[in-house]
Structure 1
């Protein structure tokens, strides 16, 4: 009798564990079915982890017909709403999704969901990082160029933090070696209706412009003008305090108060290719007729195993550089790298 009770208890426990281990079910519009764990939907692409494949599946979100999941997700909608809850396709209308939290339920269109990611308690699960390296060498004049790009970000329910570090070093026969290094630390606090408060610190060291270190601390407000699962367009503005130190000790440090206006766009409805653009203008409020511009254009092509190829152009302009420095500088680079899931 005791053995029967023990066997029944074991069967019950196993059944409970299997129930808790059930995966998400995703049905596509061509009626194919995938069973796995939805990790995130970002840039219009749904990432699914399965037990029967060592690589994650990536599927366009708009190709999904039905979802059955009991997971909790951090969800962003195109109108700026941020929601924590589960996702369930509507049985009455395949173009609608039911979002359920502990306190409320809302129904939205499928294409209104621009981002979601499974909510886990650990810090690492909310961190995304990537690093890439490029190297060029020309035998004619022994020109060697090494480029290192990296970035990291953390997404919370109300906050977004990001950082980046990039370095390009060049050496050539009969020419003085040059180094260009830039780094960024930033944060956004999400408000209602796709508004956000922003704060950041940007650092630049550039031999071409005789900059030992430029530090620009910014604060302001921005808004997503377009926010869909195919692209986003955001704009922001505010004030920046700019401090500059130079490689020539004879040149005095410069400090100035600037306004800034930034426009940022990310187009990602190109299968495995993303195109990111950011341009920021800095009209000086304390230095007459001075205007600076930073431009970044990056194209990224995703490869298997979380690898990618990245091509980028970075451009800096200063209408009133110090004597002997160039008014502009640009770097074009191609790198190969790896990113986290």
Structure 2
């Protein structure tokens, strides 16, 4: 009995170590990091370890080897997107063996792997959130501005969903008169990935802007897109499609319905450490309203801080060459804010 207990303990210990099945990352400076790989995006690998309270972040260019039996959502430079595990090729160390859950195996160099994300079956493990806000008060003009922005992403092997919201409130008080304006923007975007670099987009955008006299504008979109560039420094994509536009204005109870074509371009750049830039331009030549053209442009610059905080600058521009009565052609917003990603 005395001999049986230590053996049982050893079996339990070995089984526990195997169950943990840690990931191993080999670096160019001969260091080895053991833990659980969370993701690799923006050219930075994030790994959780038992010997540090904070996750390690490692430049992907410094990684020379990875061994892991965990499943990841993997995006490759040559347009593949799949769920698979990673291991080193013992014969050619410059290549990784990518073992798909469907049974297929392929080889890829490190520079060809542009995105990794831990792929758990749990719903919450596929979600990520950003939230930021800003506040300013000018005593001389008694002006107050308040803004909140939020974003939630859901990532799976074959599709990606992004929901977003932006609330801006301005108030100017002078003597007994108070003037307040607001601008609210909500919506979601979905991308369904096809073979190669093609994808289908679907989007629904809701905008309320007193600057453009818009009580409510709802724009539904559907289209086909293609990734032109995808590597560890930048993503560039374009899309085209159709849009349905419904508008209500403050100066009338009428509802305007029109149909438009869509031209869209996106860029996400992260070539500098801790600095990220993204921009999107959309042009809507109207199909049913003669000579009308609308355009939307958004740009975001973020600098990462410790503990998942960041500081950022946001710019939004809406243009309409045929605005409603008492409205301007342009609606421009510039924000500086502090946020948190989780």
User: Does TM, scored on the shorter chain, surpass 0.5?
Assistant: yes
Deviations 1:168-191 (A, max 9, x none): 111112462110000121211100
Cα deviation, residue 92, structure 1: 3.4
Distance 2:60 2:26 in 1: 11
Larger deviation: 105-114 or 22-31? Answer: 22-31
TM-superposed CA distance for 1:252, in Å, is: 2.4
Moved more, 9-18 or 279-288: 9-18
SS in 1 for 2:30: coil
Shift of 1:229: 1.4
| Aligned counterpart in structure 2 of residue 319 of structure 1, from 318, 321, 327 | 321
1:294 is matched with 296
User: Which 10-residue stretch deviates more, 183-192 or 93-102?
Assistant: 93-102
- Within-5 A mapping of 1:121-136: 121-136=121-136
Matched residue, 1:108: 108
5+ residue gaps, structure 1, are none
Compute the RMSD of aligned alpha carbons.
1.2
After superposition, residues 144-159 of structure 1 pair within 5 angstroms as 144-159=144-159
1:64 partnered with 2:63 = yes
User: Please, which of 322, 335, 338 is the counterpart of residue 336 of structure 1?
Assistant: 338
TM-score (norm 1): 0.96
1:6 alignment partner, SS class: helix
Shift of 1:3: 3.3
Moved more, 83-92 or 235-244: 83-92
Given candidates 209, 213, 226, the residue that maps to 1:223 is 226
TM-score if structure 2 supplies the norm length?
0.96
- How far apart, in 1, do the equivalents of 2:316 and 2:273 lie? 24
Rounded Cα–Cα distance in structure 1 between residues aligned with 2:73 and 2:136: 41
Q: CA deviation at 1:251?
A: 5.5
Matches within 5 A, 1:14-29: 14-29=13-28
Map of 1:44 onto structure 2: 43
* Partner residue, 1:119: 119
CA contact (8 A) 2:23 2:66 kept: yes
Q: Deviations over 1:113-166 (max 9, x none)?
A: 111111111100000111001011111101111110100010111111110000
| Structure 2 Cα separation of the partners of residues 145 and 162 of structure 1 | 27
- Deviations 1:213-267, CA, capped at 9 Å, x for gaps: 100000011011001111100000100000001122x352211000011000000
Matched, 1:237 2:240: yes
Q: Residues 65 and 96 of structure 2 are in contact (CA less than 8 Å); yes or no, is this contact kept in structure 1?
A: no
Deviations 1:288-312 (A, max 9, x none): 1100000001000111101111101
Query: Does 1:205 find its partner at 2:205?
Result: no
When structure 1 is superposed on structure 2, of 91-100 and 307-316 the one drifting more is: 91-100
SS at the partner of 1:19?
A: helix
8 Å CA contact 2:133, 2:149 repeated in 1: yes
SS of the aligned residue for 1:20 comes to helix
Aligned equivalents of 1:25, 1:212: Cα separation in 2: 55
What is the alpha-carbon distance in structure 2 between the residues aligned to residue 172 and residue 212 of structure 1?
Answer: 21
Q: Judge conservation of contact 2:64–2:110 (CA < 8 Å) in 1.
A: no
Deviation at 1:51, TM superposition (A): 1.2
SS at match of 1:98: strand
Q: Deviation at 1:6? A: 3.3
